[in-house]
Structure 1
Amino acid sequence: MLSFDFGGKNSWDNFGILIAGRPDIPSPKRRVNTINIPGRDSDLRFDENTYDDIILTVECSVKDTHNLPDKIDDIKAWLFTAGESDLIFSFQPDKKYIAQVVNAIDFKQVYKYFSEFPVIFNCRPFKYAVENDMMNIISSGTAVMNPGTVESEPVMNIYGSGDIVLKVNDEQISFKGVTEKIIVNSVIQDCYDDAGNNLNAKMAGEFLKLKPGENIIEWSGDVVKAELLPNWRWL
């Protein structure tokens, strides 16, 4: 039985929604700007190395012999109040989209007790690992394998003090005057402590990214250990 989890509920288990088939999965459009220059062959291309959101349409139907209008109200309330939530399809339970229903849903009553409707999800460009467990890194020079197909944007907790230099592959980040712990969040591109105090002034360099395949994480300075929330991603 095809189904999807969204906003902490399952389409079949909680609402008895039937899915016509697997939705088409588009690839995200890469943002590349072009400039036409007279007298020059081809266009100049400026690759932003970013992607647009994608749209997933799931063709659904529901049956209720007791009170179909109330069932439809429950489905609408679920889909629209969930906001931006994890979307997991039963045919790929180890990966998730970060999605939101933003379009109106057209419930078409086919029979007295039967309604068909499309659910249109606006999704961030990538799929993410459902299991996104914190990794402990206890020594400099540790190799971390990225199983995804694009760079991940991790969150890293660094435990230590004083001046610290962190190196991931060929990229280097410097931290000044660390006291106990500093959090480097590449998702929101922010640096802070456990209390939420902004520590961007203590950091110099680009935020971490982990390429597909092997990544070597090294550091110098008084570092006790590091923790990595990897956020693996796939196109």
Structure 2
Amino acid sequence: MKDDIFLDYRSCIKMGLLPVKPPIIPSPKKRYNEVSIPGRDGIFYEDLETYDDIVLPVEFNFRARGETVDQMFRYFRKTLANAKELMRSSDPDMYYKIKKIEIGDLDRGTSKTIGTFQCDFTLDPYAYLRVGKEKLSISKASINRYDLSKPMYVITGEGNCEISVNGVSSFCNVTDTVFIDTDLQLCYREDGTWINTTLSGNYDDMYLQHGKNDIHVSDGFMLKIIPNWRTAL
């Protein structure tokens, strides 16, 4: 079976886009601060505990059926440009967040029906688990077997709510259901209204560390967590 790429869960092969080679995700490179110390050999490297984005180059080809090669290329270009997530058939439990897409020029060669082009996907350096998108109870989300993650907290109730993560408390004025997105650092209601000013605390303090996390919420409130589990290696 040919290796496939899924963009927002849509199969490229079923769309008519065939990856010429199996897509291989490059390993992310860690960031270091290099310091040269007089009197010492070599360089001192300070681990910044972050990674550079990764770039996945993919060469696609396609066959025009019922339309011209140029018409098909315009369609694929628009479809690719709007994609937000990338997944591979060889690793179906993981997905990557797309940060930027650069689409190369169309190469028709000598054929009137076959086109080829390259697409460079700039991806977040982490591979995300698909199961990490699910809303979980506190007990299930508190165990993080992967790298530090930036979860979404979903709080339902009425009034001022305290949420404690690993001993650090944050407070939020809750009406019905409130979403706290620690990745985008946004707090909003179910209708999309932003309520950042009602949250007291630091989003960074609400990240899920590797291992066991201690999470508590005020009585009378229901808390669900979308853990956004991820791994760089």
Do the aligned residues in 1 keep the contact of 2:103 with 2:118 (CA within 8 Å)? no
Q: Following TM superposition, by how much is the alpha carbon of 1:3 offset from its aligned partner in structure 2, in angstroms?
A: 1.9
Deviation at 1:230, TM superposition (A): 0.7
Which of 185, 190, 211 is the matching residue for 1:189? 185
What's the counterpart of residue 213 of structure 2? 215
Closer/same/farther in 2, CA of residues 63 and 179 from structure 1, 3 Å limit? closer
Q: Which runs of 5+ in 1 are unaligned?
A: none
Q: Is contact 1:87–1:97 with CA below 8 Å preserved after alignment?
A: yes
SS in 1 for 2:73: helix
Aligned positions of 1:1-235 closer than 5 A: 1-7=2-8, 9-14=10-15, 16-64=16-64, 66=66, 67-80=68-81, 82=82, 85-112=84-111, 113-131=113-131, 132-137=133-138, 144-147=142-145, 149-159=146-156, 161-162=159-160, 164=162, 166-168=164-166, 171-175=167-171, 178-179=173-174, 183-191=179-187, 195-199=193-197, 202-203=200-201, 206-219=204-217, 221-235=218-232
Deviations 1:156-176 (A, max 9, x none): 1345645735133xx422437
CA distance in 1, matches of 2:28, 2:20: 24
Letter in 2 for 1:211: Q
TM-aligned CA deviation for residue 196 of structure 1: 2.0
**Does the aligned pair in 2 maintain the 1:142–1:216 contact within 8 Å?**
no
Identify the structure with the greater helix proportion. Answer: 2
CA distance in structure 2 between the partners assigned to 1:142 and 1:69 by the alignment: 50
SS of residue in 2 equivalent to 1:102:
strand
**Cα distance, 1:200 vs. partner?**
6.0
Aligned residues: 224
Per the alignment, do residues 42 and 74 of structure 1 end up closer, same or farther by CA in structure 2, a change over 3 Å counting? Answer: same
Query: How far did 1:56 drift?
Result: 0.4
**Does the 8 Å CA contact 1:62/1:115 hold for their aligned counterparts?**
yes
CA distance 1:65–1:179, change in 2 (3 Å) = closer
Q: For the Cα contact (< 8 Å) 1:11–1:17, is it kept in 2?
A: yes
Alignment partners' CA distance in 2, 1:115 and 1:200: 53
Residue type at the aligned position of 2:153: M
Match of 2:58, SS state, is: strand
Q: Confirm or deny: 8 A CA contact 1:172 1:205 kept in the other structure.
A: no
Taking structure 1 as the reference length, the TM-score comes to 0.79
CA distance in 2, matches of 1:143, 1:101: 30
Q: Give the distance between the partners of 1:18 and 1:201, measured in 2 at CA.
A: 47
- Say if 1:43 and 1:65 are closer, same or farther in 2 by CA, change over 3 A: same
- Larger strand fraction of residues: 1
Letter in 1 for 2:162: I
Contact 1:61 1:116 survives alignment (8 Å): yes
- Confirm or deny: 8 A CA contact 2:154 2:224 kept in the other structure: yes
Provide the TM-score with structure 2 as the length reference. Answer: 0.80
Deviation (angstroms), 1:127: 1.5
Q: Distance in 2 between matches of 1:79 and 1:48?
A: 33
Q: Per the alignment, do residues 192 and 41 of structure 1 end up closer, same or farther by CA in structure 2, a change over 3 Å counting? A: farther
Q: After superposition, what is the alpha-carbon deviation per residue over 1:60-91, rounded to whole angstroms, capped at 9, x for unaligned?
A: 211236532222222122222x1x51112222
Distance (Å, rounded) in 2 between the aligned partners of 1:234 and 1:25: 13
Question: Which one-letter code corresponds to 2:184 in the other structure?
Answer: I
